[in-house]
Chain A
Amino acid sequence: MTDQGYLLSAITLTPGAVALLLLLTSREATRLHRWAGLGASLVSLGLAAVAWLRFDPANPSFQLAEVHSWLPSVGVSYRLGIDGISLILVLLTTLLQPLVFISSWHSIKERVKGYVVAMLLLETGMVGAFLATDLFLFYVFWELMLVPMYFLIGVWGGERRIYAAVKFVLFTLAGSLLMLVGIIYLSWLYRAQAGVWSFAYEDIRRLVIPMGDGFMSSPQMLLFAAFALAFAIKVPVFPLHTWLPDAHVEAPTGGSIILAGVLLKLGTFGLLRFNRALFPDAWERSTPLFMTLAVIAIIYGALVSWAQKDMKKLVAYSSVSHMGFIVLGIFAGTVASTQGAMIQMINHGLSTGALFMLVGVIYDRRHTRLIEDYGGLAAVMPVYTAAFLLTTLASIGLPGLNGFVGEFLILVGSFSVAPIATVLAASGIVLGAVYMLSLVQRVFWNPLTNPENQSLPDMTWQEVVAFAPLAVFMVWIGVHPTTFLSISEAAVQRLIGG
């Protein structure tokens, strides 16, 4: 890999650098902070679009690579690179971030500076984790996300924010610390086999990792487990999901959008990028386990969603179900199912991000998220109703919208490999329609009985601006998915092919 400019660094580090500069400003200058946050995230989005233009979809390996020496005696280097899999997720991240700033323009009134700084640092961590092609650097970016998210939940969150924030931190670290030992072990193994120190992804990929019979005696199984635990907690794979409802419900709207939209994708991305590519034998042996857990998550998540009285909780549990589909797709391991999982990652980011945003809209007006407090909103908030309905239909997989494409590809791709699991998973789609449509029914169509709901203002222009791009992509992916499928196709082919 030769060095090709600083584009990827610019995408990654711009938000973080602006965040550090903002630390030096007065906390009274909230207009400045809001605009700087939006500006920095828009710059990142623009640069990500440039990367998309300069990206060659036919080339399956890392492009626009950057390599800088960092700690040469240990073998750590600063390496960034982008392939189809990471490009698509970076585009999602950089798209969601400015929308978060717009949607929270008025809802975050206190400690604006801290909020903007935390969000921007979080963006640097997320984009960096997608782009890092050195395992040490990946770990640094991965953990960099932790502190801002802790603050976002703990300072701007709901009533049980402290519990949720601490739980989030402990769950995340519980997974990632063992991954750190795994990363160190891989570099030692590389040194033993190649004679030099390296943490570079492309180097580690060439390793031959011994695969014994048992579990404790098999280095590859242990390494697989160390990485998989970190990612499975992030996804989250059943039964490691218990942090998710707390974190999603207690986080402020912007934090929920980023959590559901991007952070969960880091889990599935990590499974693909590291577990699938580095430990193929262990991957094969673990497939039945993960497919079973995925099916459980799909059905369990849907059933629990159905039972929720709180809208935000309902959306949170629906994430468990939707992420189950993605896990099913990547473990089925065919090109179709993996491509479906890729597109479903985007879909879930768009539709769940949109749902959290829309729940935030109504919460700002009424300060309640209980479904029973609403009813008949269609009469007073027509624009809001249309937006919510579109998102619901996208989320439950109506053909012509994005959700259909992803779920269809996953199911088609998985059926040949695991027919029973696929059939059970398909029932999750039906359950998804049940809980989402009953939510719409209860919130928008039932009679407008509660007097407090009779004069609710419709969405403001900021809220519409924040939502509109998401709607555009929901339709775009639904009508012409090839635009996005072609980005990741070559990289997925390479991954599946070996």
Chain B
Amino acid sequence: MNVNDVATILPELLLVLAGGFVVLADAFVPLIKPRLSLLAGSSVLAALALRWLVPLPGSVWLGALQIDPLARFVDSYVLVALFLVVSMAGPYLERTGANRGEFFALLLWASVGAMTMAKSNQLLVIFVGLELLSISLYVLNAFHNTSAVSLEAGWKYLVVGAFSAAILLFGVALVYGATGTLSLDALATTAPQLAVVGSPLLLAGLALILAGLAFKLALVPFHAWAADVYQGSPTPVTAFLSVVPKGAALVVLARVAAFAIPLAATARWTTLLAIVAVASMTLGNLVAIAQRDIKRMLAYSGIAHMGYALVGIVAFGYDGVAGVLVYLAAYTLMNIAAFAVVSAFSEGEDEPHLLTDLAGQGWLRPVLSGALAVAMFSLAGIPPTVGFVAKFLVFRSAVLNGLVWLAVVGVLNSLISVFFYVRVVYYLYMKPLPRRAPRYGEPWSVRVVAALCALGIVLLGILPGWVLGAAETAARSLAR
């Protein structure tokens, strides 16, 4: 360990310190209260800049972290998502009377957990990152500590999270027992020469690691928590929860797959993941149709989307991982736009966020409604949006790897999903306005977040070149 090693984790250090600073400033400098989200937001931007300034030396901290283009891609993804969430959270917290420094500090720390997890090169460090992420989120889910639904969300996420962490840890232990190492590098290079390839102990360990990650990704059959947690959590937290942990878990899954496939015999791995992917998209989409609460609908839509994204990992290869990374970028923009708007249109935090609340808003509040409509069409995968590009890339990777049937199942699922995404647009633009004024105004920061996301969705849909280029560079760093 040396000074250069410290330089590689400067963004994380900055966020940890900024989190502490926000809490202390809130406690001792009352004047700063209205500026908390500004403070947190600017530290996020600074961390993002740092990530692009510091070099990418590869393996650092005695092989515990892998600072490669993939790590930089995920960090950028987490930080952009975090910045958008922090920006939309400011007015939300004012409105709900919960504007406290801890909220921002926990968001920053959760992000540090996600970033650590995704760049970790060692199974135990993955676990540490995961725990930092999860524990921060338990508190955030229950941040409205007088609201029953929020407490319920926090409690559910805590139970499920602790359970899945234990499963993951058990899997790590089994893998260690089978191979004698925790390092992903060693697992990829030396373990295949051992006589453990395909051994029951190793397979059980890998299956448990997969299950632990599947909990975080809300993949079927580990999805049951999603709807209640999404619905009960404060909306900015839901937005964060729906993109950041999932992105980090998918990248960990890609890193695990890179060593697991040679160890676990490809066919078995592919079959297992393909079944999970198909089950997630089908169940997610079918159940989403029945939802009347938008946050619950987006929870099931999220289950389906992780199913699509998983297709890129089933068809493991450089194309597939690049597709998954583009998918993450797309998914972030779409989901944050959706949650930002849903929060602005809501009737209050403890109230359900009903589809009917959107009736006729399209003609009354053009910016937010336009952003929500764009996000819905993008989630449905209709061009020219980045959601289409992302789906095209993962389905393409399936076809290139001889899994045409998986691509066909994927597009048929897209067709099912169109039904409920388009229904949101129907409420926005084709339902008459109910006779009541909107409960809340539109703070400019929410408008900016929604408009930025919508613009990003369309621009990246028309010119996906640079995000695809970055994703390809990142995916290549998985090849050893």
Interface residue B225 (Cβ < 8 Å from any Cβ of A): no
Q: Which residues of B contact A184 (CB under 8 A)?
A: 392, 395-396, 399, 407
Is A140 an interface position by the 8 A CB rule?
yes
Mark out the residues of chain B between 409 and 460 whose CB falls within 8 Å of any chain A CB in the assembled complex: 411-412, 414-415, 418-419, 422, 425-426, 429-430
Q: Is A162 located at the chain interface by the 8 A CB criterion?
A: yes
Taking CB atoms and an 8 Å cut-off, the chain A residues in 126-147 that contact chain B are: 136, 139-140, 143-144, 146-147
Q: Is the CB of A181 within 8 A of B411?
A: yes
A155–B382 CB distance below 8 A: no
- Please, which residue of chain B has its CB at the minimum distance from the CB of A191? B400
**Pick from B399, B425, B472: contact of A73, CB under 8 Å:** B472
Q: Is A215 on the interface with B (CB-CB < 8 A)?
A: no
B430's partner among A27, A144, A154 (CB-CB below 8 A) is A154
Q: B382-414 CB contact bits vs A (8 Å, 1 = yes)?
A: 111000100011011001100010011001101
Q: Does B464 contact A (CB under 8 A)?
A: yes
Contacts of B429 in A (CB 8 A): 151, 154-155
Interface size for B (C-beta < 8 A) is 33
How many Å lie between the Cα of A177 and that of B430 in the bound state?
26
With a cutoff of 8 Å between Cβ atoms, the chain A residues found around residue B400 in the complex are: 188
Whether the Cβ atoms of A173 and B408 lie closer than 8 Å is no
CB closest residue in chain A, given B411: A177
B342 CB–A CB distance under 8 Å: no
Q: Which residues 164-181 in A have Cβ within 8 Å of B in the complex?
A: 165-166, 169-170, 173-174, 177-178, 180-181
Question: Are the CB atoms of A147 and B382 closer together than 8 Å?
Answer: yes
- List the B side residues contacting A188 at CB < 8 Å: 399-400
Do A180 and B382 form a contact, CB below 8 Å, given A71-B465, A154-B426, A162-B426? no
* Residues of chain B with a CB closer than 8 A to A181's CB: 395, 399, 404, 407-408, 411
Q: How far is the CB of A187 from chain B (nearest CB, A)?
A: 8
Q: A150 at interface (Cβ–Cβ under 8 A)? A: yes
A326 to chain B, nearest CB (A): 27
Judge if A322 is at the interface, Cβ distance under 8 Å: no
Min CB gap B476→A, angstroms: 11
- Dominant SS at the A interface? helix
In the complex, A74 has a CB within 8 A of chain B: yes
> Bound complex: CA of A70 vs CA of B464, how far in Å?
8
Q: How far is the CA of A185 from the CA of B218 in the complex (A)?
A: 30
Interface centre among A140, A143, A165, A181 (most CB of B within 10 A): A181
Given contacts A71-B465, A184-B395, contact A143 B388 (CB under 8 A): yes
Minimum CB–CB distance for B300 against chain A, Å = 19
Asked if B184 lies at the interface with its beta carbon under 8 angstroms from chain A, I say no
Q: Is the CB of B415 within 8 A of A170?
A: yes
A74, B426: Cβ atoms under 8 Å? no
- The 8 A CB mask of A80-119 against B (1 = contact, 0 = none) is 0000000000000000000000000000000100000000
A154 to B395, CA, bound (A): 31
A161 at the interface (CB under 8 A from B): yes
- In the assembled complex, the Cα of A147 lies from the Cα of B373 at a distance in Å of 10
Residues of A within 8 A of B415 (CB): 170, 173-174, 177
What separation, in Å, do the CA atoms of A312 and B39 have in the docked complex?
61
Say yes or no: is B327 at the interface (Cβ < 8 Å to chain A).
no
Q: How far is the CB of A15 from chain B (nearest CB, A)?
A: 15
**Min CB gap B339→A, angstroms:** 22
A140-B383, A174-B415, A181-B407 are contacts. A74–B468 as well, Cβ < 8 Å?
A: yes
Residue of B nearest to A181 (CB): B407
The CA-CA distance from A146 to B383 in the complex, in Å, is 9
Q: Does B52 contact A (CB under 8 A)?
A: no
Which among A144, A166, A185 is the interface contact of B399 at CB below 8 angstroms?
A185
Question: How distant is the Cα of A129 from the Cα of B118 in the complex, in angstroms?
Answer: 41
Chain B residues with CB below 8 A from A169, complex form = 418, 422
- B363: CB under 8 A from chain A? yes
Considering the complex, give the chain A residue whose CB is closest to the CB of B370.
Answer: A23
Give chain B residues whose Cβ lies under 8 Å from the Cβ of A111.
363
Within 8 A of B (CB), among A415-441: none
User: Would you call B143 an interface residue if the criterion is a C-beta within 8 Å of the partner chain's C-beta atoms?
Assistant: no
Q: How far is the CA of A181 from the CA of B403 in the complex (A)?
A: 11
Contact, CB under 8 Å: B407 / A161? no
Residue of B nearest to A142 (CB): B383
Q: Which residues of B contact A143 (CB under 8 A)?
A: 382-383, 388
Chain A, residues 453-489, CB within 8 Å of chain B (1/0): the string is: 0000000000000000000000000000000000000
Alpha-carbon separation in the docked complex, A173 to B404 (Å): 19
Interface centre among B363, B366, B383, B415 (most CB of A within 10 A): B383
How does the 8 Å CB contact mask read for A378-415 relative to B, with 1 for contact and 0 for none? 00000000000000000000000000000000000000
Q: How many residues from A make CB contacts under 8 Å with B?
A: 34
Whether the Cβ atoms of A166 and B422 lie closer than 8 Å is: yes
Taken residue by residue from 226 to 264, chain B's Cβ proximity to chain A (1 for < 8 Å, 0 otherwise) reads as 000000000000000000000000000000000000000
Instruction: Chain B residues near A180: list those with CB within 8 A.
Output: 392, 395, 411
0/1 per residue, B347-377, Cβ < 8 Å to A?
A: 0000000000000000100100010000001
For B363, give the chain A residue with the smallest CB separation. A111
Instruction: State how many angstroms separate the Cβ of A152 from the closest Cβ of chain B.
Output: 11
* Chain B residues within an 8 Å CB radius of A174: 415
Partner of A170, one of B407, B408, B418, B425: B418
Nearest chain-A residue to B461 (Cβ)?
A140
Report chain A residues within 8 Å CB of B399: 181, 184-185, 188
Tell me which of A23, A184, A185 has the highest count of chain B C-beta atoms within 10 A of its own C-beta.
Answer: A184
A301 to chain B, nearest CB (A): 27
Residues of chain A within 8 A (CB-CB) of B366 are 27
The answer to whether A155 touches B430, judged by C-beta atoms less than 8 angstroms apart, is yes
Q: Closest approach, in angstroms, between the C-beta of B268 and any C-beta of chain A?
A: 25
> Which of chain B's residues have a CB closer than 8 A to the CB of A166?
419, 422, 426
Q: Point out the residues of chain B lying under 8 angstroms from A161, CB to CB.
A: 430
The CA of A185 and the CA of B404, in the complex, are separated in Å by: 8
Q: Which residues of B contact A177 (CB under 8 A)?
A: 411-412, 414-415
Cross-chain contact B384 with A144 (CB below 8 angstroms): yes
**Residue on A nearest B416 in the bound complex, by CB:** A170
Identify the closest chain A residue to B465 (Cβ): A71
In the complex, residue of chain A having the shortest beta-carbon distance to the beta carbon of B422:
A169
Partner of B382, one of A23, A146, A165, A187: A146
* CB <8 Å contact, A73 and B426: no
Inter-chain CA distance A187–B392, complex, in Å, is 13
Asked if residues A178 and B411 are in contact (CB atoms below 8 Å), the reply is yes
B254 to chain A, nearest CB (A): 19
**B contact residues around A23 at 8 Å (CB):** 370
Q: How close is B91's CB to chain A, nearest CB, in angstroms?
A: 24
What is the 8 Å Cβ interface bit string for chain B, positions 456-480, against chain A (1 contact, 0 not)?
0000000011001100100000000
Contact yes or no, B468 A73, CB < 8 A: yes
CA distance A111 to B377 in the complex (A): 21
Q: Are B382 and A71 in contact (CB under 8 A)?
A: no
A172 to B467, CA, bound (A): 30
Please determine whether A140 and B404 come into contact, CB atoms closer than 8 angstroms. Answer: no
Write the nearest CB–CB distance from A225 to chain B, whole angstroms. Answer: 12
Interface residues of B in 197-242 (CB under 8 A from A): none
- Min CB distance, B381 to chain A, in Å? 9
Task: Enumerate 27 A-B pairs (CB-CB under 8 Å) in ascending A order.
Answer: A27-B366, A71-B465, A71-B468, A73-B469, A74-B393, A111-B363, A143-B388, A146-B382, A147-B382, A151-B429, A154-B426, A155-B429, A155-B430, A165-B426, A166-B419, A170-B415, A173-B382, A173-B415, A177-B412, A181-B399, A181-B404, A181-B407, A181-B408, A184-B396, A184-B407, A185-B404, A188-B400
Query: Given contacts A146-B382, A150-B422, A170-B415, could you give 17 more A-B pairs where the C-beta distance is less than 8 Å?
Result: A27-B366, A71-B464, A71-B468, A111-B363, A139-B383, A140-B388, A147-B382, A155-B430, A162-B426, A165-B426, A173-B382, A173-B414, A173-B415, A174-B415, A178-B408, A181-B404, A184-B399
Task: Sort A-B residue pairs by CB-CB distance and give the 8 closest, nearest first.
Answer: A177-B411, A140-B383, A184-B399, A154-B430, A143-B383, A184-B396, A181-B407, A173-B415
* A interface with B by C-beta (< 8 Å): 23, 27, 70-71, 73-74, 111, 136, 139-140, 143-144, 146-147, 150-151, 154-155, 161-162, 165-166, 169-170, 173-174, 177-178, 180-181, 184-185, 187-188
